[in-house]
A = this chain, B = another copy of it.
């Protein structure tokens, strides 16, 4: 990763919290590194006003307004991962100004001959976070019994699985636990500085890429893997399953957003009920290694405080599991469950 980043995040025309989830998460987790948001349509506002996070970071109309910036970040993660065509000129301008570029898109900016030549000429780096060369299959060997592996799973994509994993790992760390957040997507990698963009890995090597992270980091006592997609997602279920079978979590945290009824971006596909998904996640995980859902994480951003509290009570009763919103309430309720059930969860893994 580039050190000492002073980032302008490009969200021009996509400044809603779902489309711009990369921007929102960088504002939340790397606040000291963000110097501006680039979106001419919202110029004059603050990041806080546009995204509900980011405080006084200004929204600017052009790179000239952020002279201190040394890095342009592509702030969106659209389905399919292409560059919005109008952005190409902005990216070129950033490189011409001597800025590095960080992109999590599937379409690699470094493969654009013009941009690559310009970057070489200006001595800057184009960092395509999703680029990887994973070519190893999983082995199922060498996995330690004493490392507790947790995974966030969800009812849908773009529902907060990375945030829950990050918050949970931090909460465990703040209790003195040797816990680590394991990034599996472009935004998580931008935040934590390492990880594997698993949705970009060749299918045959997906579980292998996840297993390599497990083997590399299992000297920590707790690994919290960032989840991807959903086991019922018509586009991305393969990514979800490769992650599940590669990471072999003993415990899973089920993430959902109250009020969301259909798959994100697929208005013709209703979401599956949480109870069905809980059973599905547990039984599908167990085809390789036993696992149980230990808690529920609700993303209640669209509810007021009272409605959120009611919904959490409702879902706790429905599933007989502890539930919380890690942003609204903090992740302590889930961290408690992890600590309380640690012994039982570790024995699940050794029973394989």
Mark A residues whose CB is within 8 Å of B.
79-81, 106-107, 135-141, 198-204, 206-208, 231-232, 234-239, 241-242, 245, 266, 268-269, 272, 280, 283-284, 287-288
Minimum CB distance partner of A268 in chain B: B140
A235 CB contact (under 8 Å) in B200, B201, B204: B204
Q: Are A201 and B200 in contact (CB under 8 A)?
A: no
Cα A135 to Cα B80 in complex, Å, equals 7
Q: Are A236 and B284 in contact (CB under 8 A)?
A: no
Q: Are B242 and A237 in contact (CB under 8 A)?
A: yes
Minimum CB distance partner of A82 in chain B: B135
The answer to whether A232 and B137 touch (CB under 8 A), given A238-B206, A238-B239, is: no
Cα A243 to Cα B287 in complex, Å, equals 18
Q: Are A199 and B203 in contact (CB under 8 A)?
A: yes
**Across the interface, which residues of B come within 8 angstroms of A232, CB to CB?**
287-288
Cα A237 to Cα B203 in complex, Å, equals 9
Cα A141 to Cα B242 in complex, Å, equals 25
Q: Are A235 and B203 in contact (CB under 8 A)?
A: no
Minimum CB distance partner of A140 in chain B: B234
The answer to whether A204 and B208 touch (CB under 8 A), given A242-B237, A269-B140, A272-B287, is: no
Minimum CB distance partner of A141 in chain B: B268
Cα A79 to Cα B204 in complex, Å, equals 9
Chain B nearest CB from A299 CB (Å) reads: 21
**Across the interface, which residues of B come within 8 angstroms of A141, CB to CB?**
268
Chain B nearest CB from A51 CB (Å) reads: 25
**Across the interface, which residues of B come within 8 angstroms of A201, CB to CB?**
202-203
- CB-CB nearest 8 A-B residue pairs: A238-B242, A232-B287, A199-B204, A238-B238, A137-B235, A241-B241, A206-B238, A138-B235
Q: Are A239 and B137 in contact (CB under 8 A)?
A: no
Chain B nearest CB from A136 CB (Å) reads: 7
Minimum CB distance partner of A263 in chain B: B140
Chain B nearest CB from A157 CB (Å) reads: 10
Q: Are A234 and B200 in contact (CB under 8 A)?
A: no
Q: Are A204 and B237 in contact (CB under 8 A)?
A: no
The answer to whether A137 and B287 touch (CB under 8 A), given A204-B199, A234-B245, A238-B207, is: no
Q: Are A202 and B200 in contact (CB under 8 A)?
A: yes
A239 CB contact (under 8 Å) in B80, B200, B203: B203
Minimum CB distance partner of A230 in chain B: B287
**Across the interface, which residues of B come within 8 angstroms of A107, CB to CB?**
135
Q: Are B288 and A234 in contact (CB under 8 A)?
A: yes
